[in-house]
Structure 1
Amino acid sequence: MNTAYAPQRPSGIPDTLRLPSRDTRTSLTDRIALHLGLRLLIWGTRTPRLTDDRERHARARRAHTATASREHGYLREALLAPRP
Structure 2
Amino acid sequence: MNTTFAPQRPSGIPDTLRLPSRDTRISLADRIALHLGVQLLIWGTRTPRLTDDRERHARARRTHAANTAREHGFLREALLAPRP
State TM-score, norm by structure 2.
Answer: 0.66
Distance 1:81 1:45 in 2: 53
Between the aligned residues of both structures, percent identity stands at 75
Indicate the larger mover: 20-29 or 74-83.
Answer: 20-29
The aligned amino acid for 2:46 is R
Q: Distance in 1 between the 2:42 and 2:74 partners?
A: 45
Which 5+ residue runs of structure 1 have no aligned equivalent? 1-16
Q: How many residues align?
A: 67
Deviation, structure 1 residue 24? 4.1
Aligned to 1:36: 36
More off after superposition, 21-30 vs 67-76: 21-30
Is 29-38 or 55-64 further displaced after alignment?
29-38
Q: Output the amino acid matched with 1:56.
A: R
Q: TM-score, normalised by structure 1?
A: 0.66
